[in-house]
Structure 1
Amino acid sequence: MVENRPWLTILTHVTLIAGLIIVLFPVWIAFVASTYPPETFISGVVPLLPGSHLIENYREVLSVGAARNGLPPVLPMLLNSLVMALGIAFGKIVISLLSAFAIVYFRFPFRMAAFWIIFMTLMLPVEVRIVPTYQVIADLNMLNSYAGLTIPLIASATATFLYRQFFLTVPDELVEAARIDGAGPWKFLKDIAIPLSRTSTAALFVILFIYGWNQYLWPLLVTTDPNYYTVVMGIQRLMQALDNEPLWNLVMAVAILAILPPVIVVMAMQKLFVRGLVESEK
């Protein structure tokens, strides 16, 4: 039994609060910097309290952009990032779920060889295969398109492995009972396997959404049309000031806007996300 020691409780809370301050302090500095005019940062000193240009700066990046840096409005870029992140998350989940289901519940030649080939792709991240992948996308005329942004990134060996491990924990008696009741493979997947894997799917969705949202190198290669820029690309392009000083207030405003959707997704799915990571009994 854990002993009830008040000093230990106090120490625990102090440690948590200190860690929270360390993590959130850079975010607070970014937010404060986004509320001042650009000339405030010429001296290199960032204030610790918000300024008076909050609405003005955020209105500018959302509706006008930074024409001096060749940056279009941020709102379309946020929508592009949302489409890309959702497409990658849902695509990875659907493909991984179906592939793991086939590997576990169907008996076909070389099924384990297929699984290990899929698993071996973990050693080939996007950066390693980016040149041939780009060539394929270019040959298929998928540059500057949502398909080009999402399709090359939706295969996931990690998600396939996690779903396979989950399906292996489903009792054989449940499978036999479903077969006796006349449930075919599709009905078993739809009515039993998918509901049972709800928490695992939620945890994967959060991880994959953030993965897709934070993509930088691939969108940078396949998009030259500003209509398909993502918000992470927008931050980088906004910092390329050419002959001018970087508009640090607008850079920080875009950075704050860029972290809001992942934070909202994590907060909205927090309970399912935690259960999917720590739940041991399926």
Structure 2
Amino acid sequence: MIEKTGTAPIRRHLVLMAGIVVLIFPVYAALVASSHTTFEVLSHFPLWFGAHFFENYKHVLFAGIGGAAPPVARMMLNSLIMALGISIGKIAISILSAYAVVYFRFPLRKFCFWLIFLTLMLPVEVRILPTYQVVADLHMLDTYAGLIVPLIASATATFFFRQFFLTIPDELTEAARIDGAGPIRFFFDIVLPLSRTTIAALFVIEFIYGWNLYLWPLIATTREDMYTIVMGLQHLANVPDSVPPWNWVMATAVLAILPPLVVIVAMQRQFVKGLIEPEK
């Protein structure tokens, strides 16, 4: 029997290709603009690469941009430290919190979990003033600790780990107990290896979240050498009393895309597994 598929697959592929073009074109336009001079970009937006590609990227990476922002290499380092600190901190605290809630019996255990879960209704923007006051009183402004520590608690990650731990069979816990494994050994030898795909998925999500943060770094930093890449982009695109250097802005934007892209590509398989496995 010959199956008649008609033109439906062709239409689906055409729609998919159109979506890919729509998504990729802004990145292509940024790459092209970053290879020209500011005058060329403003006079007529180019559609093909120019002769200043490596020159522009070398300038924004190491020379800074006329006092509007520090070198992009410095801002990328700040963003990388902040994103790694936030993602690793969130995962470490959340996995320990979920482990305690699931495997330890103590009074008001469920109440403590739901209290953690209710903090989802209190994003950074709601608690920004008291958080800033605490950070300022502890003299943590313009420091990496001030950028990272207030953001490392995550109710969402705690919830994800708790749901995964509940899928681990009780027989496995009993077997570990019979073998003489205590809570610490059970956590490191059994629970942690089983959680690697969940950890990978949450790491990708939290890394991108930390990399793209703008409001908290804007408030918690005043020195230019502590600017993050997102803050630098804002300063470059809003130069007072002058035309922004769009070729350098586009070069900075392209560089800002690279670390999250590398993380996604490197951890793609574990990320997908962590989200689509049946127990999730």
What SS does structure 2 have at the residue aligned with 1:42?
helix
TM-score normalised per structure 1: 0.95
Counterparts of 1:171 and 1:144, CA distance in 2? 46
Paired residues for 1:83-102 under 5 Å? 83-102=81-100
Paired residues for 1:122-201 under 5 Å? 122-201=120-199
Counterparts of 1:205 and 1:78, CA distance in 2? 18
Cα deviation, residue 6, structure 1: 6.9
Counterparts of 1:277 and 1:20, CA distance in 2? 23
Counterparts of 1:139 and 1:209, CA distance in 2? 28
Cα deviation, residue 147, structure 1: 0.2
Measured on the aligned residues, the alpha-carbon RMSD in Å equals 1.3
Counterparts of 2:223 and 2:187, CA distance in 1? 41
Percent identity reads 61
For 1:215, the equivalent position in structure 2 comes to: 213
Counterparts of 2:7 and 2:241, CA distance in 1? 57
Counterparts of 1:111 and 1:46, CA distance in 2? 60
- Alignment partner of 1:107 is 2:114: no
For 1:29, the equivalent position in structure 2 comes to: 29
Cα deviation, residue 7, structure 1: 3.8
Q: Is the Cα contact below 8 Å between 2:69 and 2:235 reproduced in 1?
A: yes
Counterparts of 1:84 and 1:233, CA distance in 2? 13
For 2:51, the equivalent position in structure 1 comes to: 52
What SS does structure 2 have at the residue aligned with 1:188?
helix
What SS does structure 2 have at the residue aligned with 1:182?
coil
Q: Is the Cα contact below 8 Å between 2:164 and 2:279 reproduced in 1?
A: no
Counterparts of 2:241 and 2:232, CA distance in 1? 18
Counterparts of 2:235 and 2:107, CA distance in 1? 50
For 2:42, the equivalent position in structure 1 comes to: 42
Counterparts of 2:82 and 2:181, CA distance in 1? 35
Output one character per residue of 1:120-153: Cα deviation in whole Å (capped at 9) or x when no partner.
Answer: 1100100110010000000000000000000001
Cα deviation, residue 4, structure 1: 7.4
Counterparts of 1:25 and 1:70, CA distance in 2? 28
Q: Which amino acid aligns with 2:47?
A: L
TM-score normalised per structure 2: 0.96
Output one character per residue of 1:142-178: Cα deviation in whole Å (capped at 9) or x when no partner.
Answer: 0000000000010000000000000011110010001
Counterparts of 1:66 and 1:227, CA distance in 2? 13
- Alignment partner of 1:63 is 2:62: yes
The number of residues matched between the two structures is 278
Cα deviation, residue 281, structure 1: 4.6
Q: Which amino acid aligns with 2:55?
A: E
For 1:229, the equivalent position in structure 2 comes to: 227
Greater Cα offset, 88-97 or 12-21: 12-21
